[in-house]
Amino acid sequence: MDMKNKVSITVDRDFQIAAIDKRIYGSFLEHVGRAIYTGIYEPGHAAADADDFRLDVLDAVRGLNVPIVRYPGGNFVSGYNWKDGIGPREKRPKRLELAARCIETNEFGTDEFMKWSKKAGADTMMTVNLGTQGLDSARELVEYCNFPGGTQWSDLRKKNGAKDPYNIKVWCLGNEMDGPWQIGQKTAQEYASIAVQAGKAMKLVDPSIELVVCGSAMPSLPTYPEWEREVLEHSYEQADYICLHSYYGNQSGDTDNFLARNIAMAEYIRTVESICDYTKAKLRSRKTMMLSFDEWNVWYHSNEADRHIKHWAVAPAQSEEDYTMLDALVFGSCFITLLNHSDRVKMACVAQLVNVLAPIIALPGGPCYCHTTYYPWKHVSEFGRGTALRAAVNAPVYDCADFEKVPYVDAAVVLSEDESAITIFAVNKNLEEALPVTLKLNGFTGYSEAESITMHSPSADDGNTPEEPNLVVPARGNSVGFEDGLVHTILPRASWNVIRLRKK
């Protein structure tokens, strides 16, 4: 092995980033494509329970230990009347869903989702419609979900079968409101006005809730980042988070550039942080604004197929990605980036959870299986609870179209909550060579028992399919050795890796 290709990672116990908020491992379910219908919900399926929730899908979701799920959108929410989705199903109206140009049956709504999320063991991040609706609809939804009883909407919730309030603590004030595709698109001034007033009313109903204001829909829009500045100057004291949305694709086929997309994610986070801190200084506020990266994922495989969707169908297949090992590398690097910015990113949602841009595919009437992206998510959610430590990574680099000196290795290090384990998450982006790694731990003693998990494949284009659902899955990794207080291992080429050190 060429010495210049060796990698070193140095970690010091005292150099901490932050306590990790478990909600960065969150997800998203929207009424789009087959995410809900024939995704988490399929009446008549052999694996459906008494509520028509697919138990095989629930088992896969529980395997991710998802702490919070955003619902019901997404672009969908800006044309959605939540009152259409409650009460007797036979009385619920079918509606034209304009965001995706399909038919929404409203067979599944707020109460069904809250039942499902309880079974999944996840909290809810509820989004209110600030596109076609506004203050009244938002405050009434909070009353329906969170007020104990004795009022019109809380008593209606009880009548609909939910005696106890849902106590939803996180609420998004609209979705991507500067996007030209958004129903009810608004200027920053228009959005800030309705968001502040709706947020005020919502917190009067339940002062314990946290509010997320919309950032710009994507960094490529001309409104970004001026949108963030203007919205925050109006809503800074009302809001608890500002959201970020971004997707990463390889439409051009430039693999080196695709593998560096997590650098774009990091730059996006730093830019929004700086706007938050500028606003804090301008307003002489004592509050530090936190970030909710509540839509992110890899998205490009399904773009062509989505152009041919037949309009006005019920739950047509849409944005169903066939993820590969290459995608899992980018996906894992993005999770590493979130961990390394966990001082400000307190919530994040992979968009989405089932069928649509999803790690879990549920075949209508058939089984479900997991894509390659399922496994990095499972690992960070399981082993990434605790304190993020600063990792100084010295690795070989390459240049690509958008970035210079891109490291071949991305890494994040987490000290468990009880300090009994240290976990290193690492991606080797080198598609040709394995890379030896030396890990130096400063300020730690007694950590010697080690194991490693790795996921790689003969081809970076390999992925899981209904015919071969376990083609690309994690396995026991290379041995981990100790010498003179240093940890040594080898990262296979094009691999996702988890290295675990435990106290004796």
Give the tens place of pLDDT for each residue, 107-132.
Answer: 999 999 999 999 999 999 999 999 99
152-181 per-position pLDDT tens digit: 999 999 999 999 999 999 999 999 999 999
For the chain, the C-alpha Rg in angstroms (whole number) is 23
Cα–Cα dist 40/53, whole Å: 6
CATH class (in words) of the domain with range 21-383: alpha beta
Cα–Cα dist 377/67, whole Å: 12
Q: Does residue 400 have a pLDDT over 80? A: yes
- Average pLDDT of the segment spanning 335-343: 98
Cα–Cα dist 334/345, whole Å: 12
CATH class (in words) of the domain with range 3-15+388-503: mainly beta
Please, are residues 238 and 192 in contact by the beta-carbon 8 Å criterion? no
pLDDT given for residue 2 in this prediction:
43
% pLDDT > 70, the chain: 99
Catalytic residue list contains 228: no
pLDDT given for residue 368 in this prediction:
98
Catalytic residue, candidates 176, 228, 230, 273: 176
Six token digits for residue 497:
């890796």
pLDDT given for residue 4 in this prediction:
64
To the nearest 10°, report the CA torsion of 301, 303, 309, 313.
80
Residues paired with residue 7 on neighbouring β-strands, in sequence order: 437
pLDDT given for residue 482 in this prediction:
84
Catalytic residue list contains 107: no
pLDDT given for residue 5 in this prediction:
75
Per domain, the residue ranges of the chain are: 3-15+388-503, 21-383
- Taking residue 185's Cβ as centre, other Cβ atoms within 10 Å add up to 16
Cα–Cα dist 89/98, whole Å: 21
Q: Cα–Cα distances in Å, from 299 out to 12, 55, 248, 275, 303?
A: 36, 27, 6, 27, 8
Q: Does residue 325 have a pLDDT over 50? A: yes
Global model pTM greater than 0.75:
yes
pLDDT given for residue 311 in this prediction:
96
Phi, psi of 373 (to 5 degrees): -70, -15
Instruction: Share the mean pLDDT of the chain.
Output: 97
Cα–Cα dist 408/333, whole Å: 11
pLDDT band per the 50, 70, 90 thresholds, residue 39: very high
- Average pLDDT of the segment spanning 226-244: 97
Catalytic residue, candidates 112, 143, 295, 321: 295
Query: What angle, rounded to 10 degrees, do the helices at 135-146 and 152-159 form?
Result: 50
